Structure 1
Amino acid sequence: MIDPIILFFLLGGVAGLLRSELRLPAAVYEFVSIVLLLSIGLKGGVELAKQPFSILLPHMVAVVAMGFLLTLIAFPVLRYLGRFKRADAASIAAHYGSVSVGTFAVAIAYLSSRQIAFEDHMPLLLVMLEIPAILVGIVLARGLSRETHWRSVAHEVFLGKGIVLLLGGLLIGWAVGPNGLKPIEPLFFDLFKGFLALFLLEMGLITAKQVGSLRRYGPFLVAFGIGMPLFSALVGTGVGLALGLSIGGTTILATLAASASYIAVPAAMRISVPEANPTLSLAAALGITFPFNVLLGIPIYHALAVWAHAFARG
């Protein structure tokens, strides 16, 4: 049976394409986003306290390296095969080297509904994967120039809403533990899928707005928006196996690698690479990659993780 949260996404997409008056009020969307980010952080923080830092450090280093690698691979494909301008190629590459919190939340819901266990420190890896692609994207677009406003970039990257809420949730969950969170469990844990359904309803509406842009910018962006996530998922699966993650953990890491940012990276690129066309990045990330991952990608990445673990066991 199809997950109801996916049907909410489809409802938003169909309503948007049909130009319905359906809209999620801005204040409600903001509230839902905050709750989702805090929920993910809190869940990870509770379990983070149980794990020694010596175990987490190799995972953190590997994920940062993966973020650098995926951005560097995406850039020449966009620059020389897609024939995008340097700034546009760097901006799109940064989006695909970074991560989508919404896709991460859907992956968690997918695994939880099937009672598939995964490592509890995955939200920490989510936070780590936000940062390297932004830095590489800026350097690819501008070089190591004095004209780059690194202070503004650092403020946007490290003090942006998403990072603050995720890290804040991690620290709160780590500090108080499961018993301390019991009074707020109904809001942040019990209603998680309900908030995710509302979030995906709005994402469906937003995705529908990008269809026109995709018509204008041609088939290459469509092919890249599907091909790059599939390639990145292979990389994420390989890294998950190398780190000794479970099937569930490998699935999530593959999903993180395959997702594309539509929150942190657009904000950072707007500050540092204003000449890049944001429509191109958002059309690919929201118009193609996000719906592909939500509807088809995550089950594919789970099947890939199952196959990879079976192959590794011989």
Structure 2
Amino acid sequence: MKDKIMSIDYYDCIIVGGSYSGLSAAMALGRSLRKVLVIDDGKPCNATTPHSQNFITHDGKKPAEITAIAKHQVEQYKSVSFYKGFAIKGRKLDEGFEIETKAGDKFGSKKLIFATGIRDIMPEISGFSECWGISVIHCPYCHGFEYRESKTAIMANGDLAFHFTPLIYNLTKDLVLITGGKSTLTIEQTEKIKQHNIPIIEKEIVQVIHKKGYLEEAIFKDGSKIPLEALYARPLFEQHSGIPVSLGCEITEQGYIKIDNMQKTTVPGVFACGDNSSFMRSVANAVSSGNMAGAATNKELSEMEF
């Protein structure tokens, strides 16, 4: 006997994650008359960020405001439903997938889209997490303009540091590079940075002093300190949901869900979009990838039914 879903609500697609990419995917599917369930616990990773930039038509708005507008618009498509909660389990069935929530509710679908994002792992630096997304920032395109010509540091080493340095130097010349220990920059990279009078500090930050998330100075392990208004950093991260891996989705060396150019994962019928599958962490990218995931999912559903 086939392992199928009989007594639970069944959808064309379940979208796990209801922020920018998930809502974008839901809109594409809703406009295609698909029965969709969006499961989301209402805790986006950018909740501490005061404003969102570099997203055309919404530049400077609060992230929660953008999400509220997006959800209101998606709700106009009556084939899309919403469930507030956290998805904890997923399994493959002969005729689709099953998702179980923390509350014990179960739902079935023909296709899955994971718009689950990633979880940042804060370093053991006092004050760092309180400043994350405010003045300790990850992206010059999302935040750099607001901190142009400010006292700025890059906390990185090796190739990542060298990648960041010219981008940030374009925005401010009041710049230092903090490698967090012995530099792993090549001789050529080091010479290039020093040609632009950018100090390289081979020390470890142990604390940042701030007021309500806005930096004032960084304190090093040896007790020395420097004044700072902005600190660029790329902390470690992990997938926010373990369900994709449990279903067999392949993860890249960088820690992202592996996808093709149609947002398809390595598991047939499963798609991923947004931060969980792209190093480009931005609202604009999340919306774009979600739109593609929705369209690609509808294409597969249409071909199955034709």
More helix by share: 1
What TM-score comes out, normalization by structure 1 length? 0.21
Please identify the structure whose Cα radius of gyration is greater: 2
**Structure with more of its chain in strand, by fraction:** 2
